[in-house]
Amino acid sequence: MDNQKQLDLISEMIATARREFNHNGSIYLLWGWLVCIAAISQYILLQMNSEYNSVPWSLMIVGAIGQIIMAYRDRNRQTTKTHVGRILGRTWAAFGISLAITLFMMAKLELNTYPFVMILYAIGLFISGAALEAKALTYGAIACWCCALAAFFVGFEEQLLLLAAAVILGYIIPGYILNARYKTSQLAGGNV
């Protein structure tokens, strides 16, 4: 295979991964909105001195069910598996495991839990942004890192607001940008 054919093959693999990812860009909206709603709801309930202030986080069950449904639906549509797609899958699997460990150790981390959660968000977004050449994800990662840094210097309640800001800037806005890009690519015949 000559160099041009190799470059064409690599370009097509990246384009395929982008199409797959853009199709799944709604996962950012799902998790972004759920985390944002839960964080702001808990903040409001804390202001009201409610003993049930952690209840909004039960929305994460809805997210898990939604993600399973989306993954099943997308698995049926997926025609190829690319190297970039596998790397992104592994990146987000590592994110999920790391997030689970962080949340499991919440009692030990105490006030430092949410800053570390935002750092984990940033890592996944940054790698995805670089792999897919999606500036919205890269900027979202930078926003998450900035929110994480600020969160180390404020109390728990303010961390909830920073967490909401992090997912708005890191997940929701990029999610809408990716969805728009996907719709545009579909109208153009599937090319990204």
Whether 3 shows a pLDDT value over 90: the answer reads no
Q: How many Cα atoms are found within 13 Å in the side-chain-facing hemisphere of 35?
A: 25
Distances in whole angstroms, Cα of residue 97 to Cα of each of 78, 90, 160? 24, 10, 22
Choose between 15 and 44: higher pLDDT: 44
Per-residue pLDDT, averaged over 21-35, amounts to: 81
Give the single-character DSSP code of 105.
T
The token duo for 114 is 């949410």
pLDDT tens digits for range 107-160: 998 888 999 999 999 999 999 998 888 899 999 999 999 999 999 999 999 999
Whether 70 shows a pLDDT value over 90: the answer reads no
Indicate the domain borders of the chain. 14-187
Answer yes or no: are the C-beta atoms of 140 and 170 closer than 8 Å. yes
pLDDT confidence of residue 24: 55
Name the band, by pLDDT with cuts 50, 70 and 90, for residue 169.
very high
Give the single-character DSSP code of 55.
G
Whether 56 shows a pLDDT value over 60: the answer reads yes
Q: How many Cα atoms are found within 13 Å in the side-chain-facing hemisphere of 140?
A: 32
Name the band, by pLDDT with cuts 50, 70 and 90, for residue 25.
confident
Choose between 184 and 100: higher pLDDT: 100
Closest C-alpha to 190, from 6, 18, 35, 25: 18
Instruction: Tell me the one-letter amino acid at 168.
Output: I
Choose between 20 and 129: higher pLDDT: 129
CB atoms within 10 A of CB 11: 10
Question: pTM to 2 decimals?
Answer: 0.84
Per-residue pLDDT, averaged over 177-184, amounts to: 84
pLDDT confidence of residue 34: 96
| Cβ-Cβ contacts under 8 Å for 91 (sequence gap 6 or more) | 124, 127, 128, 131
C-alpha 183/C-alpha 134 separation (Å) is: 15
3-state secondary structure at position 188: coil
The token duo for 9 is 């093959």
